[in-house]
Amino acid sequence: MGDIDLVRLNFNPESLGLLNAILGLVMFGVAMDMRLSDFRGVLSTPKPVLIGMIGQFVLLPAFSYVLILAIDPSPSIALGMMLVAACPGGNISNFLTHFSRGNTALSVTMTAISTAVAIVMTPLNFAFWASLNPKTAALLHTVALDPLEMLGAVFMLLGVPMAAGLAVARHFPRFAERTKKPMRIFSLVFFAVFVVGALIANWQYFIKYVGFVVFAVFLQNAIALAAGYFAAYFSGLAEADRRAVSIEVGIQNSGLGLVLIFNFFGGLGGMAIVTAWWGIWHVISGFTVATLWRRRPPEMVAS
């Protein structure tokens, strides 16, 4: 086991409680921008949503597992990559899809569905793929991970704020319309400051191990974007839908991943560094891809 597998990042219980509350606020703000019609959208356009969910919860974890076998990272880095692959789409995927001239309505629907499905799929997917690799399985055994306990935690972090946000949006639409944007901006900025603060507090570990992590995250994120796009391409979806699916699969909810790492793995070094860097890199890669696509409207792309 490498040195990074023994590192525990500096994080006290009070900070963890605050991080949980911030993620809850983020999800509450996101949910206030959703409607029940977003979930019903899967009935009117089932194929693109289904392809997106397959890319998110089947292809990305499977390809990530193969990538881990190929590059053979330390067990804690591998666990971080698996956890990120098991998370739902990130909060900025809708904006990036709109910016890339993709199908924004499809993106919103996929975000809603993937967040709801993740309550069950994130802990189960993570436990399944991590248990297949002897090195990561041994580390799971060391921390005695209980998938059902993680499922309960994900339900509290995603399910409860999401249900509350949907209820507020439905019963108090004016309040939701006035507060959703400021709350979303405040919570995301606060979360970003919090993550940067955590990195600064553990800067010596980040500098020591970031080189390989940058390489691993670059490959995994590129695979995620490509898996989403080509799954949509070979399924015969339109170009605007391909862009939405690609971004949804390539932008992960790394905030959820960080919270789970500090809740269940004691801030395990490799996992936390991978997930924190994912949170930075997927914004850079997402904006880059969206900018390139924006210069070429979907109607200019041959189907």
Domain extents for the chain? Answer: 3-300
pLDDT on residue 1: 42
In this predicted structure, the answer to whether residue 169 has a pLDDT above a threshold of 70 is yes
pLDDT on residue 147: 65
Six token digits for residue 285: 């890669």
pLDDT on residue 55: 95
Would you place residue 62 in the very low, low, confident or very high pLDDT band (cuts 50, 70, 90)? very high
pTM above 0.85, yes or no: no
93-97, 143-147, 169-173, 294-298: least confident range: 143-147
pLDDT on residue 159: 76
Length of the chain: 303
Q: State the average pLDDT over residues 214-239.
A: 94
pLDDT on residue 229: 96
Q: CATH top-level class for 3-300?
A: mainly alpha
pLDDT on residue 292: 93
Average pLDDT of the chain, as a whole number: 81
User: Pick from 87, 59, 39, 101: which is nearest to 253 by CA?
Assistant: 87
27-41, 75-89, 158-172, 219-233: least confident range: 27-41
In this predicted structure, the answer to whether residue 82 has a pLDDT above a threshold of 70 is yes
pLDDT tens figures, 98-140: 888 888 778 878 887 888 888 888 888 998 999 998 888 887 7
